Amino acid sequence: MNWFQLIREDFSVVFARDPAVRSRWAVLTLHSGFRAVVHYRMQHALWGIGLHWLARWLSLWSRWTTGVEIHPAVRVGRRFFIDHGMGIVIGETAELGDDVSMYQGVTLGGTTWNEGKRHPTIGSNVILGAGAKVLGAVTVHDHARVGSNAVVVKDVESYTTVVGVPARAVRIRNEDGEKFEAYAVGHDAPDPVMTMLEQLSERVAKLEAENAALRQGYGRD
């Protein structure tokens, strides 16, 4: 598939994932996320034929005009969707599958200065919420969701939703329940901190009951 066909798919998916879109003309002229994707596709094509300096220079220009920084060497699958876009950074060795959606402030960053693979691998049908950070050569597997402002430093399994710092799993979905949720997390998502506090409270209550039973046993003796 050539870059023009990829861009046509990127264009069509905007209507499915952005309810604010009103017309094709609006997407072409006003949608900064779509413009950033188009710029990346062209820069990646130039990178692929060895025009590295030109690709990097155009990448810098794209950052100025869209607020999105994607290294031209990044490998991205089909139907890539960016909403709002401002502040997104995707490092050189990152890889993204098909149907990835991401929102403003996402970082796919490296944690080492060593050459080779140092940025994340994002599977297909993954949603990355606003401000999410995925750091290092970790893998976010297919159909996973990363909540807004989460910091991911370990692999995320398929069909799992993670939130928090560091990111923790709060929900494991099945294939039948799959649906698109903007920003990766719905209103009914559990609070991982509150869940942990409830578990600790239950544990303390259990220990207190065991302690009381032991004291009663000693009293009889």
Helix then strand then coil, % of the chain, to nearest 5: 40, 20, 45
Q: What is the pLDDT of residue 176?
A: 54
**Distances in whole angstroms, Cα of residue 29 to Cα of each of 4, 22, 44:** 18, 12, 22
Query: Mean pLDDT over residues 10-38, rounded?
Result: 90
Kindly report the number of other CB atoms within 10 A of residue 132's CB atom. 27
Question: What residue spans of 18-117 are helical by DSSP H?
Answer: 24-30, 32-48, 52-66
Kindly report the number of other CB atoms within 10 A of residue 113's CB atom. 6
User: Is 60 exposed, middle or buried (CB count within 10 Å of its CB: 0-12, 13-18, 19+)?
Assistant: exposed
Average pLDDT over the chain reads: 86
Query: Mean pLDDT over residues 10-16, rounded?
Result: 91
Q: Which one has a higher pLDDT value, 65 or 221?
A: 65
Q: Which one has a higher pLDDT value, 190 or 167?
A: 167
Kindly report the number of other CB atoms within 10 A of residue 215's CB atom. 9
If phi > 0 it is left, if psi is from -120 to 50 it is alpha, else beta; for residue 79 that is left
**Residue 189: pLDDT band with limits 50, 70, 90:** low
Position 60 pLDDT exceeds 80: yes
Q: What is the pLDDT of residue 118?
A: 94
If phi > 0 it is left, if psi is from -120 to 50 it is alpha, else beta; for residue 217 that is alpha
Q: Bridge-partner residues for 171, per DSSP?
A: 161
Sign, CA dihedral 107-111-113-118, equals negative
Lowest average pLDDT, out of 22-26, 80-84, 208-212, goes to 208-212
CATH superfamily of 3-190: Hexapeptide repeat proteins (2.160.10.10)
Query: Is-contact 88 106, C-beta < 8 A?
Result: yes
User: CA torsion angle for 12, 18, 22, 26 (degrees, to 10)?
Assistant: -70
What are the structure tokens assigned to 138, written together?
């970790």
Q: What is the pLDDT of residue 165?
A: 87
Q: Helix or strand or coil: residue 122?
A: strand
Query: Mean pLDDT over residues 163-182, rounded?
Result: 72
